Amino acid sequence: MGLEKLVDDHSKATRSISIIRSLLNDDSFKNEHRTASNFFSRKFKLDFVTVILLILQNSIKPMQLVLNEFFKKWDNGVLVTKSAFTQARSHLKASVFARLNQKAVLDVLYSDDNYEKAWGFRLLAIDGSKIHLPNTPEIIEKYGTIKFETTVEKIIGEHGYALASVMYDPLNKVVVNACLAPAKAYEVDLALEQIKRTQANDLMLFDRNYPS
């Protein structure tokens, strides 16, 4: 979420950590960002806070190894399976991470004038990218597919994809806004919506495809 950029500023880092703790232990925050009111309602090993902390590790290790290491350190090595984590993760809304990023990172980073700028401007870059998704019926229904053809065996087919558009502050290394749209959406339309979130004294960067 860009927390590493706040580490050099002890005061801001402390505020960010305090905000995260407060939000994660706030029942109204949990209610807002779970998919149904009965999820995370009782105390299980994979509760609301634990699932979020596991995801925020952003580890490249196999998920089962991540779970084993986490619970060995924090819960006497209790066994939690990858499938149990996958199910618990599905009960979270993606909005929880956007909200944490806004409140604990962006609001703190930009709370004063002490952040990196380019010629006095906050530098923001927007770009879009196709994201390869699992080929499940639910995902295909929501995001659609893109046709493909392999070069060796000449296999023709379709696969689930989405279009991601990200507005990024490259100097401070934080995502200011991100969205995921159907595969055949137009990245310029997504960028136009994201521009609405900019403010005076922002300098925008785009690649050549946007103005064309």
2-16, 53-67, 87-101, 177-191 — which is least confidently predicted? Answer: 2-16
Buried b (16+ CB within 10 A) or exposed e, 168-181: bbebbebbbbbbbb
The pLDDT assigned to 158 comes to 86
Q: What is the DSSP string of 151-177?
A: SSS--EEEEEEEEEEEEEETTTTEEEE
User: Structural domain boundaries of the chain?
Assistant: 3-107, 116-205
Model confidence, pTM: 0.85
User: What is the rounded average pLDDT for all residues in the chain?
Assistant: 90
Confidence of residue 210 (pLDDT cuts 50, 70, 90): confident
The two tokens of residue 156 are 């023709």
pLDDT tens-digit profile of 83-112?
999 999 999 999 999 999 999 999 999 999
Residue 43, exposed/middle/buried by CB under 10 A (0-12, 13-18, 19+)? exposed
Residue 104 and residue 18: Cα distance in Å, rounded?
Answer: 8
The pLDDT assigned to 9 comes to 79
Interval 5-31 mean pLDDT = 88
List CB contacts of 120: < 8 A, sequence separation 6 or more.
Answer: 201
Show the CA angle centred on residue 167, arms to residues 166 and 170, nearest 5°: 110
